[in-house]
Amino acid sequence: MGYDQESYWFSDGDLTFSTALSKTESAYYEKLAAVGASKAHLAYDHEWILKAACDRIKNKLDYQPNILLVLGPEFTLKDARLVYSPFLKTPVQGIDNSNFKKSHSKLFKDVGTSSAKRPGRPARLYRLADPLG
């Protein structure tokens, strides 16, 4: 997954899909009707669907970050920052680990340390906190 200031894109081998550049749904459909579809583009409104999905994920990052479920039941803060980064359109290095931990502490529950055999201190593992308390 990649991003720039206006869109996201997804690649799988030779295929690359990007989100719609239009700001509104009506503008997207007007442009689509005028231009028409081609084999180089996603079918009909799928670019808009990708845009809506990415925007929805971005908007929920601070209160219901279910996108982190792609990491499995437990994850490190670095893993979480790697997932957040493209949706925030910010390089991972631009997300400060301690500020990220502090601002998301209500969303994550500490479950211990990683058992990975790497040099240095083992990373703390977290899971998504129960939203009901």
pLDDT tens series, the chain, 133 aa: 677 667 776 777 777 766 666 667 776 666 665 655 555 555 567 777 888 888 899 999 999 999 999 999 999 999 999 999 989 889 999 999 999 999 999 999 999 887 777 788 888 999 998 866 5
Which amino acid belongs to residue 94?
A: G
Q: What is the Cα–Cα distance from 100 to 49, expressed in whole angstroms?
A: 29
Domain ranges for the chain: 1-60, 64-133
CATH architecture under which domain 64-133 falls: Orthogonal Bundle (1.10)
Its pTM stands at 0.70
